[in-house]
Every structure is written in C-alpha cells, then in structure tokens.
C-alpha cells in the first residue's frame, strides 16, 4: 500500500461554542422553541492526505483526451486514446477501386476548458492501426500500456488546437483505405468478423518541449472515418464507419510525472507533512483523504442532534494556482472510506438520483455531510475518513490546489447541533 503524505489542518484541540441568533446554518429547519439550543463549531481538527491514484476505469468514456503539457505546479501530464469502430454500410469493394483519401474526423468538445494548457504550442499527432483484439466486455484502465495498441503507423500531422473549431480532420495514409479495398468480403459479413479484420485506431500527440495542451474530443455521431474512392467508371464513392456505438470500445490512456513538481519530495512521505495546501488532479492523478480524528468527542456533550454538517473546501488564490491557464476542477465528488483503499457513497447523497458531485463556485467546494456525521456519532458508521476526488476522473485533466490549516482561509467542517 502506498504511503500517504498528510497535512494537519487545525490544532488538535477542539473548541465548541454557542452560536449567535444571527447564525443561519441549520437554523431555519428547527422549531422555534429549539432555536435557543442551537450551537455551532468549526474548530474540529482535520487531517489531510494527498494520494496518488493508481488507475481508473476509462472504457466507455464520452470524452476523449489527447495531448501533453507540463504544469508549472503539478508537472507533466499526457493523454492518448484507443478507438474501435462499428461496421459501416454494406459495401462491395472491387480490386479495381482506387483510394482517393482517408479522413478521420474528431469532433471538439464545445464546453468550457476543452483545451487544457498551452494551445499556442504545435502538436504532432500520430495514428496507429491497432493489432491486438479489443473486447467490449472488458474494463480498460487509464494506465494501460500504450505499446499494446501501437501497431502500424497509418497517419501523422501537426496542428494547433483551436477552441473555436468544431472538428479536427486528419488525413490518413491511403494504405489504410487499400487495406479495406483489398480485404476479403467475408470480413464485412458480421460485426465480429469486421472487428477481427479492423481492430481500431490508437491516437497520441506530442508537443515541443512537452509544453502543449490536452484537448477534449467528443464521442458522438461526428466521430467518423471515411474512405473516399472511385471505381473503374470514375464514380466517386465512400465507405464511412463510426466509433459512436454502444458496442464499440474506447478508452483514455493517462499518465502523470510529478518529478518537477514543488511538492514531489513530500508525495507518499508521511514524515514530511505540509500544513498549508493539498492537491487534487483529474485524469487518474491525485485525490485527497480527509479525516476528522476527534469527531466522536462531540458525544462528550451528551445527547445531540446534528442539524447540519458542511464541509467547506477552499482553493488557493488564482495568482498562486495558475488557474488562468490551468482552471480548477469544475466538479468534485466525495465518498466515505470503509477500508484503507475502498470507499462508498455517503448517506447524504445515496438517495440522490444521478448524483455527480459538487460544482466549483467562488473558489470553493461545499458538501453537506450531515447524515454521515450523525451516523459516526451514533456508531453506525466507522470514522475512516472521506475521499475527495474529481467527478470525471477518466475524462478530464484539470487540477485544484486546496487550502489547509495555516492558510488564512483553510478548509473547515462547520457543524450545527442541538442538545436534546
């Protein structure tokens, strides 16, 4: 098991004090007679650990990541992807057909932050024909070995990612089209025979001095490969296949190198705690473990009901985090640890259909963990800590720097309770 490095946020002492009538946390949900008993504390000690993510399941993603960059704070990151295609329309290629061109179209993601890093750096893109079988019943992980999918080079180009563009069209080698035209017709008789014949494409990109960007492309109907050809009668024809199919395999391959990061020497080393910041990074990068070791000391107050428990996670100022070029993670998620490595959805969110995390707003992430805290005090849930991680860890590469104990605005757990 990997060692953790932790950041002690606040002093170990716990101070509990009565709130003023003006306090509105949990206030409006109480009967009038109970409001006089309302109390609040935000001084519970928190312990923070920043942990490397081994890998995440990245198969079936709706967004494909391509490129590389070097973050001035987090270091180097790289993303590539593999695609399997569905069989196209019925076709009868002839040995006399002539390939005119082969075009791969990758539709840009049109949401905010679809280019992460330095878009002014030229990217060199390489496309390879995959030689190993892809299985749509298998889970593919972010740390898959790219060498398994790097077969024959069938295309390369250079480009500058542009947020205003809608589609990135890549001209592939005509030899790929000739591979289709010269194939036996039985290869187009079924989906399985087609996948045995054409296993897919692996796509990667590099930039000058690793100073580029990672670009997001969408999995939709616009992601296609078209073989343009003509027959002996000079009729212009085309054969189109798409990767946008529920039965086709697609997955992102992601990697990070923190060697150049300022905090590299403290990662996985609990003998060198940092008490000012912690780190999160999507793309199978970093997550944060938050522990409240003295939470059950609240039971010393007697019988209490938790009216609200809000975990408030702040980020460092933009001028210290380089968020102009590397925006913070748009949405993060929490689960509760049930062992050193496993975690599950906490009770506050388990009843919410399609819960997908909390948005980044005004430099802050906020979580309502009322039921989770109450269950720990009642003894029905073990106090093993909370896992904070990017909501879209397999299809994003954003990162956030969160404040801890000695910052002027550290992370806090604000608990409002009533004695009964």
Spatial contact of 334 and 49, defined as CB atoms under 8 Å apart: no
Spatial contact of 262 and 278, defined as CB atoms under 8 Å apart: no
Q: What's the pLDDT at 18? A: 31
Element (H, E) at 347: helix 347-350
The count of residues in the chain is: 420
Q: What is the dihedral of CA 393, 394, 395, 397, to 10 degrees?
A: 50
161's tokens: 């990612």
Q: What's the pLDDT at 406? A: 82
Q: Which of 349, 263, 305, 292 is nearest to 48 (CA)?
A: 292
**What helix, strand, coil percent values describe the chain, rounded to 5?**
15, 40, 45
CA–CA separation, 85 and 8 (whole Å) = 49
Q: Kindly give the pairing relationship between strand 386-390 and strand 47-52.
A: unpaired
CA–CA separation, 79 and 91 (whole Å) = 35
Query: At a CB cut-off of 8 Å and minimum separation 6, what does 234 contact?
Result: none
Spatial contact of 96 and 232, defined as CB atoms under 8 Å apart: yes
Q: What's the pLDDT at 272? A: 55
CA–CA separation, 295 and 42 (whole Å) = 11
CA–CA separation, 360 and 276 (whole Å) = 20
CA angle, 282 then 286 then 290, to 5° = 115
Query: At a CB cut-off of 8 Å and minimum separation 6, what does 54 contact?
Result: 2, 143, 284
Instruction: Give strand ranges (E) for 30-131.
Output: 38-41, 47-52, 63-71, 75-83, 98-107, 115-117, 123-129
**DSSP 3-state of 356:** coil
Q: What's the pLDDT at 269? A: 62
Spatial contact of 227 and 104, defined as CB atoms under 8 Å apart: no
The 8 Å CB, 24+ separation contacts for 14-19 are 14/41, 14/43, 14/44, 14/45, 14/294, 14/297, 15/41, 15/43, 16/41, 16/43, 16/298, 16/301, 17/41, 19/416
371's tokens: 């039921």
Q: What's the pLDDT at 164? A: 82
Q: Kindly give the pairing relationship between strand 47-52 and strand 286-291.
A: antiparallel
Q: What's the pLDDT at 6? A: 33
Regions of the chain where pLDDT drops below 70: 1-36, 268-274
123's tokens: 């990217």
Element (H, E) at 17: strand 17-18
């Amino acid at each position: 098991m990997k060692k953790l490095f932790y950041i002690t946020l606040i002093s170990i002492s716990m101070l509990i004090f009565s709130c003023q009538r003006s306090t509105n946390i949990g206030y409006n949900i109480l009967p009038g007679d109970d409001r006089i008993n309302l109390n609040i504390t935000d001084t519970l000690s928190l312990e923070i650990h920043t942990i490397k993510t081994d890998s995440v399941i990245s198969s079936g993603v709706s967004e494909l990541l391509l490129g590389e960059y070097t973050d001035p704070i987090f270091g180097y990151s790289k993303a590539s992807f593999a695609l399997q295609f569905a069989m196209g329309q019925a076709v009868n290629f002839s040995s006399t057909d002539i390939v005119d061109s082969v075009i791969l179209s990758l539709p840009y993601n049109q949401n905010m932050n679809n280019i992460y890093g330095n878009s002014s750096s030229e990217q060199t893109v390489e496309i390879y024909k995959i030689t190993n079988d892809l299985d749509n019943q298998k889970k593919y992980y972010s740390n898959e070995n790219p060498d398994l999918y790097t077969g024959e080079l069938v295309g390369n180009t250079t480009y500058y990612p542009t947020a205003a563009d809608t589609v990135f069209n890549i001209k592939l080698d005509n030899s790929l089209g000739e591979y289709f035209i010269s194939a036996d017709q039985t290869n187009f008789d079924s989906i399985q025979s087609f996948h045995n014949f054409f296993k897919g494409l692996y796509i990667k990109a590099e930039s000058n001095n690793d100073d580029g960007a990672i670009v997001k492309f969408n999995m939709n109907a616009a992601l296609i490969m078209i073989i343009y050809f003509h027959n002996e009668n000079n009729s212009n024809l085309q054969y189109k296949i798409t990767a946008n199919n529920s039965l086709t395999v697609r997955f992102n391959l992601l990697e990070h190198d923190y060697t150049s990061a300022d905090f590299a020497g403290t990662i996985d080393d609990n003998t060198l705690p940092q008490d000012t910041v912690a780190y999160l990074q999507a793309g199978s990068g970093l997550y944060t473990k938050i522990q409240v070791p003295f939470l059950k000391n609240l039971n010393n107050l007697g019988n209490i009901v938790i009216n609200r428990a809000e975990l408030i996670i702040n980020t460092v100022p933009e001028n210290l985090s380089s968020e102009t070029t590397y925006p913070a993670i748009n949405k993060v998620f929490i689960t509760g640890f049930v062992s050193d490595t496993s975690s599950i959805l906490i009770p506050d969110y388990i009843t919410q259909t399609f819960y997908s995390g909390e948005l980044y707003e005004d430099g802050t992430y906020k979580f309502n963990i009322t039921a989770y805290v109450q269950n720990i005090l009642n003894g029905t849930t073990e106090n093993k800590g909370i896992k904070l991680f990017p909501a879209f860890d397999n299809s994003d590469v954003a990162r956030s720097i969160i404040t801890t104990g000695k910052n002027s605005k550290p992370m806090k757990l604000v608990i409002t309770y009533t004695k009964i």
